[in-house]
């Protein structure tokens, strides 16, 4: 049984939760704890110990969500998969343009012929700007 089926039984088909074997719980513990840790980092951190009984930890998550009906919206939130788009990167180009006295034509040229160098330079700038 994969973790999606376990999640289904934690949130939707609660009556079938007892059919999940301890081996399935242990195999899926890491991803389940990680996903729940997005919303409840304190609880997930307590379960994230080397000697924790993983099957019991999944059971505790089940108890934690026993009154929840349906998979919460935050569970499938793709925050960790968002990538910067060109428009987001271009807004940061103004710092580089000011610093190196470049105009828009120069930036287009750099994007076209020196994209890797430009990305490296933007990483350096973003590192110090944050």
pLDDT at 129 over 70: no
Using pLDDT thresholds of 50, 70 and 90, give the confidence band for residue 130: low
Task: Record the pTM.
Answer: 0.58
Q: What is the pLDDT of residue 69?
A: 84
Which 3-state string (H, E, C) describes 53-93? CHHHHHHHHHHHCCCCCCCCHHHHCCHHHCCCCHHHHHHHH
Contact 70, 12 (CB under 8 A): yes
> pLDDT tens, 4-31?
899 999 999 999 999 999 999 999 999 9
Name the average pLDDT for the chain. 83
Q: What is the pLDDT of residue 89?
A: 55
Using pLDDT thresholds of 50, 70 and 90, give the confidence band for residue 56: very high
Choose among 97, 95, 83, 103: nearest CA to 130.
95
Alpha-carbon span 63 to 55, nearest angstrom: 13
Q: What is the pLDDT of residue 86?
A: 47
Using pLDDT thresholds of 50, 70 and 90, give the confidence band for residue 62: very high
């Amino acid at each position: 049984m994969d973790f999606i089926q376990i999640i289904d039984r934690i949130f939707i088909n609660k009556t079938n939760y007892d059919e999940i074997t301890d081996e399935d719980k242990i195999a899926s513990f890491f991803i389940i704890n990680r996903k729940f840790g997005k919303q409840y980092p304190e609880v997930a951190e307590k379960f994230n110990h080397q000697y924790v009984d993983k099957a019991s930890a999944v059971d505790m998550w089940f108890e934690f969500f026993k009154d929840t009906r349906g998979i919460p919206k935050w569970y499938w939130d793709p925050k960790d998969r968002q990538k910067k788009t060109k428009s987001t990167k271009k807004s940061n180009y103004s710092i580089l343009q000011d610093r190196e006295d470049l105009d828009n034509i120069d930036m287009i040229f750099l994007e076209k012929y020196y994209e890797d160098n430009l990305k490296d330079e933007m990483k350096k700038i973003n590192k110090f700007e944050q």
